[in-house]
Amino acid sequence: MILSLSIVTGFKSEIRSRAIGFAGHVVVIAYTNNNSFEQEPVSTKAAFLTTLSKNSEIKHIQPYATKNAIIKTAFENQGIIIKGVDKTYDWRFIKQYLKAGGIPDFNDSVSSDKILVSQTIATKLGIKTGDRLITYFVSKKNIADTIANISYEQRVRKFEVSGIYQTGFSDVDDNIVFADLKQIQKLNFWNTDQAGGFEIELNDFEKTDALTE
């Protein structure tokens, strides 16, 4: 019984640490009735961020955005989710699981074409660090008052594989490719001070519910 309890407790702790390491304790996104897969932007200069940054229970806040895409190689196609992050992103969790190459360097001055892919995706597509990949996106061309008037266009980007990771967390490894947040801002016709949301890391997991409120 003690052995079983230890295994279950350890497994629960490992899953929790990986989930938190990837997305933080709390995620803040725009409240919307929009049922599409496209995120609604939020301002990275919002007043509430100043309030949160002064909260001693909050360890770190980082903006992010996600966008569906398809990677195409000479022989395979793979549906993925691009997760755009900026220079404030905390890479400590991913660095533990880096298998090849390095973490891409994102800065404020220029948009980077470097990406970080999982070993699962790299194996499926037969790619390695240094390879350049053609990636297809669908973006809203114009934002209209009604869904019926919104038009879409296909957009193409070429990315270079900077590194390969593998967390062992299938929800992440099967889908997520890290890229520069500026790339998603451009693809979505957002301003440079807009993101899809914020990931918040707390000092104490036990206070997550209270601090979320």
**What is the CA 115 to chain-centroid distance, rounded?**
11
| Residue 151 pLDDT | 67
User: Strand, coil or helix: what is 75?
Assistant: coil
Q: How many CA atoms lie within 13 A of 7 on its CB side?
A: 4
CB atoms within 10 A of CB 11: 10
In degrees, to the nearest 5, what angle opens at C-alpha 177 toward C-alphas 143 and 63?
60
| Residue 34 pLDDT | 64
Residues in the chain: 213
**How far is the C-alpha of 151 from the C-alpha of 60, rounded, in Å?**
37
Q: Where are the alpha helices (DSSP H) in 45-114?
A: 47-53, 92-95
Spans of the chain below 70 pLDDT:
8-19, 21, 33-37, 141-151
Signed CA dihedral, 84, 89, 90, 95: sign only: positive
| Residue 55 pLDDT | 92
The set of residues, in sequence order, having a beta carbon less than 8 Å from that of 81 and lying 6+ positions away, is 66, 67, 68, 69, 175, 176, 177
CB atoms within 10 A of CB 86: 18
